[in-house]
Structure 1
Amino acid sequence: MRNHYRDFLIRNWEESDRTRAAEVISYVLSEYGLGWEPNGADRDVVQVEEYYLATGGEFWVIEHQSQLVGTGAYYPIHRGEKAVEIRKMYLLSSVRGLGLGKYLLQQLEAAIKERGFQQIWIETASVMVEAVKLYESNGYNLTTGVETTRCDRVYFKLLHSGH
């Protein structure tokens, strides 16, 4: 993955991004009063190889003027049929409101579809109002069965083949 949106670069995660990606995510979480959980909900950020690369998922980072400003990822899950969970979609507040989140979501969906998956799940927290608005305005339906402690919403979307 290597893609541009305005002057942002979206690319595949590399080993040297581990600390910076974790910093972006923990910073955004703290902004919403949520905790960084390296041994729980955020273990996947510390162990990207194991959670994403080894399972057929992808983890992307977003750069702006060689600074890391966001992340986005997904991996296959055993929840429904040919399903993935989109995870770790975080953007620093300085780069929100530019359409980057929507673009990132569309790129993730395209990559997921290309790999033959049909269902997408996303968990988030109500306090993350921008995220909630983004998912709801892009065809994600609120459903039940939250699995992550700090989240209180779970969304579901069916990808239609040949769409």
Structure 2
Amino acid sequence: MLEIKAINNTYSKSAIDLILNIQQKEFNVPITIEDQPDLMQIEEFYVSSGGNFWGAFINGELLGTIALVKFDENAAAIRKMFVKKEFRGKEHNIAQKLLDILIAFCKENGIDEVYLGTVSILKAALRFYERNHFKIIEKQSLPAKFPVMSADNIFCFLDLKS
């Protein structure tokens, strides 16, 4: 039974294990925990600014994450969208459920501009965002306050006003 819930610092170790494994071992992205201190400070980095961090669990095991960093009055960035390889795809639909919860949170909290950065090697992720009405935009089109991650080379935007 899938359960999606907001998570806090008590889940940092589980989130780090899941995310680093996918980044480093599966996709060979040269990124370390030192590059992502936000994962050790979920409440301070995501929640206190008006965003949130969610985890997808089956039988208590963390299988997926998605986070939202609010960086302006009505704008936020999606971060840390990861699903364990064995649980990807339509059968479990975890990524879609995580994104749906994040979008609902945005609508409830007056966030109508959602941005994200990703890396070009994550082809399936890019197709997923495009299916969910995100548009690819140039890096120079990002808002000045957008928190760019060094590894990201593709950027997307979703307008929730329309």
Per-residue CA deviation, residues 34-75 of structure 1 (Å, 9 max, x unaligned), is: 1333232x2211111211121111011111111111111102
What does residue range 11-30 of structure 1 map to in structure 2 within 5 Å? Answer: 11-30=5-24
Q: Which runs of 5+ in 1 are unaligned?
A: 1-6
* Partner residue in 1 for 2:107: 113
Q: Deviations over 1:94-150 (max 9, x none)?
A: 100132211211111111111001100011111112211110111000012272221
1:66 counterpart = 2:60: yes
Give the conservation status (yes or no) of the 8 Å contact 2:18–2:63.
yes
Q: Do structure 1's residue 89 and structure 2's residue 81 form an aligned pair?
A: yes
Residue 49 to residue 14, structure 1, CA distance change in 2 (3 Å)? closer
The CA RMSD measured in Å over matched residues stands at 1.6
What is the TM-score with the length of structure 2 in the denominator?
Answer: 0.87
Find the partner of 2:95 among 96, 101, 104.
Answer: 101
Percent identity, aligned pairs only, is 27
Could you list the runs of 5+ residues in structure 2 that have no partner in the other structure? 143-147
> What does residue 3 of structure 1 align with?
none
Please give the alpha-carbon distance, in whole angstroms, between the structure 2 residues aligned to 1:159 and 1:135: 14
Paired residues in the alignment total: 152
For 1:39-58, list aligned pairs within 5 A.
39-40=34-35, 42-58=36-52
- For normalisation by structure 1, the TM-score amounts to 0.87
